[in-house]
Structure 1
Amino acid sequence: MTKLIYIKFLIILFLGICQKSFSQEFYPTNISSIITDENLLDKQLAKLNKSYLFKKGFEFVNDSISVNKNTLEKITLSTTEKDNLIHLTINYLTFRNSLLNLKKRLQDPELNLTKINENLYEIKYEKYETKIEIIKNLEVKSKPFYLIKTTIIYEKPRDNRYIFPLKTIYPFQNTTWYFDLDYKISKSNSEENIIKIILKKDKSNYKIMFLDDINFIIIFNNVKNISEQINGKYYNNSNIVFSIDYEIRKGQNGMPNVQEINANYLKIIELNKLKNTKKYFEFFFNRTFQIEDDGNKISLETQVYNDEHNPIQYPTIKAQ
C-alpha cells in the first residue's frame, strides 16, 4: 500500500466520528464529498463541491464559501501550500447542541487518535496529518453555534492523481425515506436476478432512516403486524454499501452461536416466503448497490447469480 493510499484510508477512518444526537447536516466522513481537487482553476488547490452542498440546502457563494440561509450554517474552505505540503482547512459552523457522541467516537481506540485536549484530536503519519478542533460558545444572530474545524495536511502528489475526486453522490445523512423492494429475473440473462430498492417520499409499508453518516435503521411491520426495527451500517461513496448489525447471542458453552445468514441468491418463491421477516430485509440490505438519483426517488440496484445459493454462517456478533 502506497503512502498516498494509506493516508487517504486514515483520513476516511479518522473522519467517521459522529452520531445522531450531534445531527449537523455534514459529518466528518462527508468531508471528502464536500471538497474536491478536480477541475480546478490555475493555482487552486481545492474547492467546495457545489452540487453536493446544494442537495443539503447550501447555496454556493464562491469556490470557498457555501451558506444555508435557512439555518445560518456555513461551510468555508481555505488552502495553502508550503514546503510541498498542502494544507486544507474546512470550517463547519453548526448550531447543533450536543458534542457527547462526537467526543465518544473521537476517543474510540480503533481510530488510534491522540487526544490533545477535550476539544482537539489528531492523527499523524509522516508527512500527513489530520486534526479536528471543536470551538464552542460562538453566537450568530443570537443563536449558539459550534465550529468544527478540520485540518488536513498532505504531501502534494507528484502526478495528476486526485486526492479528493469530485463526487456526485447523494448526501443520505439525516434523511428519512419510504421504500419498495423488487427482485426479479433479468431480461437479458436468465442466470441473473436483479435486486432494486426504490427510495421515495410517498408513504409505504417500509421506512429507512439514515441517522448520520454511517448508521441506519429499517422500520417495518412483521407478519403479526407488529412494528420491528433493524439496525445497520452504510458506506456512501460511488456506490452505497449496506451491512446489517447482528446481536450477540451465546450458547450454553458461552461461545457465540452461529447464525445462518440468507443465501446471497434465492429463488423468487423462496424469498417471498420470508416476506416481512428480518431475514427478508437482511437479504436486501447486506449488499453493494449502484445509485441512480431521479429527483423525487432514488433507485438502488445490484445483481445476483444463481450459483451463489449456499448460505453463509456467521457468529451472531453485533457490529460495533
Structure 2
Amino acid sequence: MSAAPNHTKPILIAGPTASGKSALAMAIAEHARGEIINADSMQVYRELRVLSARPSVEEEARVPHALYGFVPAGEAYSAGRFVRDAAAAIARARSAGRRPVIVGGTGLYFKALIEGLSPIPAIAADVRDYWRRAGEERGAGALHSELLRVDPVMAERLAPTDTQRIVRALEVIQSTGRSLAEWQSLRGEPVIEEPETVRLAVSGDRAELHARADARFDRMMREGALDEARALSALQLDPDLPAMRAIGVRPLLRLARGEIGEDEARELAKAETRQYIKRQETWLKRNMISWEPVTTKETASSLRDIFSFIQR
C-alpha cells in the first residue's frame, strides 16, 4: 500500500515549553482546516487552565480543540488513557473532515502514539487499591525498599521519592508476576504509523526559551495563577497526584501559606520551568532526530515554507 500524501497525514508538533508550538499549531490548523488535539500531560486537567498555559476560550473558539481541560485534578491521567483518548479524537476529527494537529510537550505521549505502549495486562482492582493505600500510609521510601526486594531492576530505575511510579511497579509485578521492565521491553500497537505522519520539532535558543518562559509566568501571575493554586489546594488532593506536581504549583502553595514571599515564589517557579525545558530538549534530541526542525523565530516566509511542507 502506498503512503498517504502529506496533505492527509496527521501533523505532530512537539517542543519544549514556551517554544511557540501552540501558536504554530493554531496557524497550521487554521490554514489546513485542522483540529488541535492536546498531547500535554498537564493541559488535560480541568483546574489548571492558567498554570498549564492551556489555550484560551477565544483560541478554542477559533478552531476545534480536543483533550484539553477534561480530566479532574483528582485523577492520575496516564499515557495508556491518552492513547485511547487520542485515537478517538483523531477518528472524530477525520470523520468531520478535519486534519488532526497533535501538539504538546509530553514526549512519552508522542512515543505512545507512533510506537504503541507495552501490552501490560489490566491490574486487579484489589491489588491497585492495596498499593495505593500503602503509598499513602507507608510513604515512598518504604515502598522503594519493598520494590528493591521484589524487583531490583525497576527499583534501580526509579527515584526513592517517586511514589506514583513505585506503586505502579509494585502493582504490576504482584498482579502479573513479571517486572514492569520486562513489560516495557515489549512493543504495543501504534495508534498511527510514524511514516503516516508529518512531524515538526519546535526548538530555539536556550536563553530565548528561558526569557519567554519567564515572561509567560509573569503573565500567568497577572491572569490568576495564585488563585488557581489556592483552588487546587482547597480540593485537599494527594500531593503526589500529577496535577499537584505541575510546574509552579508547589511554590505558589508555599506563597499562599505565607512560607515564602512572592518574589521567591516566582523565582522558584521559573527555575522549575528552566529545568523542565532542559529535560524536554534532551528528550527531543534523543527521540525525535527524524522530525522536521522548526525554530521559535518564525517569519511570514518561514510559515509559508511550513505550510508548503505539510501539504506536499
- Give the TM-score taking structure 2 as reference length: 0.23
Name the structure, 1 or 2, with higher relative contact order (CA <8 Å, separation 6+): 2
Which structure has the larger Rg? 1
Larger proportion of helix:
2
Larger proportion of strand:
1
- Give the TM-score taking structure 1 as reference length: 0.23
